[in-house]
Amino acid sequence: MRKMLAAVSRVLSGAAQKPASRVLVASRNFANDATFEIKKCDLHRLEEGPPVTTVLTREDGLKYYRMMQTVRRMELKADQLYKQKIIRGFCHLCDGQEACCVGLEAGINPTDHLITAYRAHGFTFTRGLSVREILTELTGRRGGCAKGKGGSMHMYAKNFYGGNGIVGAQVPLGAGIALACKYNGKDEVCLTLYGDGAANQGQIFEAYNMAALWKLPCIFICENNRYGMGTSVERAAASTDYYKRGDFIPGLRVDGMDVLCVREATRFAAAYCRSGKGPILMELQTYRYHGHSMSDPGVSYRTREEIQEVRSKSDPIMLLKDRMVNSNLASVEELKEIDVEVRKEIEDAAQFATADPEPPLEELGHHIYCSEPPFEVRGANQWIKFKSVS
């Protein structure tokens, strides 16, 4: 027993020595940056595409790694909380697709705009909300970013327009945000995302037409994860070349599992739009490990082997980690430390999200109208009234 206690105390004091080992790590000579080859994008109506090499600085690499790991662990935590019935209703997870949200954000400015559909937790984070605000919204508590009123699909941040539940409806919205960008003349662009399933929605083609007609600075982005719910792309689309579906709109097909490829393609697309040439389309080829939502195990329409193959060969976090370690941009230990920090951040956020109280019943009627003096909202019968405050 005493030996065990001694062993435990050694382990604990070893943990306390971490600061020292961190100093050791920091003083090691890392490269400042490294150049990587990235996959060439398939092009549609474009003479040239994004570059096939890119420079990654150590600082950016660590940042992307941390962000992707945060999204990954946040989604896995949401999975856990859902299975514990602490999160209810819809929960669409994006683990596997981290290179998309992190890579897109790396290619634009915070003053640019982004809108997506319901698989939105990753973007909500990369656009600036904290894990705590996101998880607390998922658990439906008062500390959630939408005060518990929206849930998984309705989270908003500055220059981030959700989080939209109706498949495809967000695409005309995105074109409208791009119209506002052009109207205001500030050189901003709008990233308008949709999935391979949504790509067959008629309103998307209406948006393509108007965006091209009016040269709106809109980057249409198809996040192709091969399945629209349980329907594979081959069973849904007569043409699965989503990057060509914009017809008169130039397009590029991008390796959506490589954060650097996504970043370069986004920079390229954003520059195209900012130059006033009109809209452009990007197809990001990516993959989701989870099923469509938490109610879908995700194995009835695809094989476990397929999922495992993507995980072992194309995982975006693993790809970045290997690149960074092999080019001496970071050490394995350093990245492990980041993993530990991220885990802690997620754990703290989850604890908060679980403990935070639900919104007060009195707020049920709030936020019906904006800028309105308080009024009464009817409840389940004529005697139940809620006060509505803007």
Site for other proteins, residues 146 to 175, rule: CB under 8 A: 146-150, 154-157, 161-162, 164-166, 169, 171-175
Q: How far apart are CA 270 and CA 307, in angstroms?
A: 32
Instruction: Find the helix or strand (DSSP H, E) in which 86 lies.
Output: none
Of the candidate residues 59, 247, 348, 372, the single one contacting other proteins (CB under 8 A): 372
Q: Which is nearer to other proteins, 108 or 155 (CB)?
A: 155
Write the burial class of residue 131 (CB in 10 Å: 0-12 exposed, 13-18 middle, 19+ buried): buried
Of the candidate residues 369, 374, 379, 385, the single one contacting other proteins (CB under 8 A): 369
User: What minimum distance in Å lies between the beta carbon of 367 and other proteins?
Assistant: 4
Q: Which is nearer to other proteins, 55 or 377 (CB)?
A: 377
Q: How far apart are CA 270 and CA 45, in angstroms?
A: 16
Q: Which is nearer to other proteins, 14 or 89 (CB)?
A: 89
Q: Which is nearer to other proteins, 163 or 251 (CB)?
A: 163
Total interface residues for other proteins by CB under 8 A: 52
Please enumerate in sequence order all residues whose Cβ is within 8 A of that of 21, keeping only pairs 6 or more positions apart, or say none. 333
* Chain centre to alpha carbon of residue 1: 49
Please enumerate in sequence order all residues whose Cβ is within 8 A of that of 290, keeping only pairs 6 or more positions apart, or say none. 75, 79, 93, 95, 96, 296, 298
Residue 113 contacts other proteins per CB under 8 A = yes
Site for other proteins, residues 328 to 367, rule: CB under 8 A: 366-367
Site for other proteins, residues 173 to 192, rule: CB under 8 A: 173-181, 183-184, 190
Residue 306 contacts other proteins per CB under 8 A = no
Contact 248, 255 (CB under 8 A): no
Contact 131, 88 (CB under 8 A): no
- The residue ranges that bind other proteins (CB under 8 A) are 113, 115, 144-150, 154-157, 161-162, 164-166, 169, 171-181, 183-184, 190, 202-203, 206-207, 209-210, 213-214, 366-372, 375, 377, 382, 390
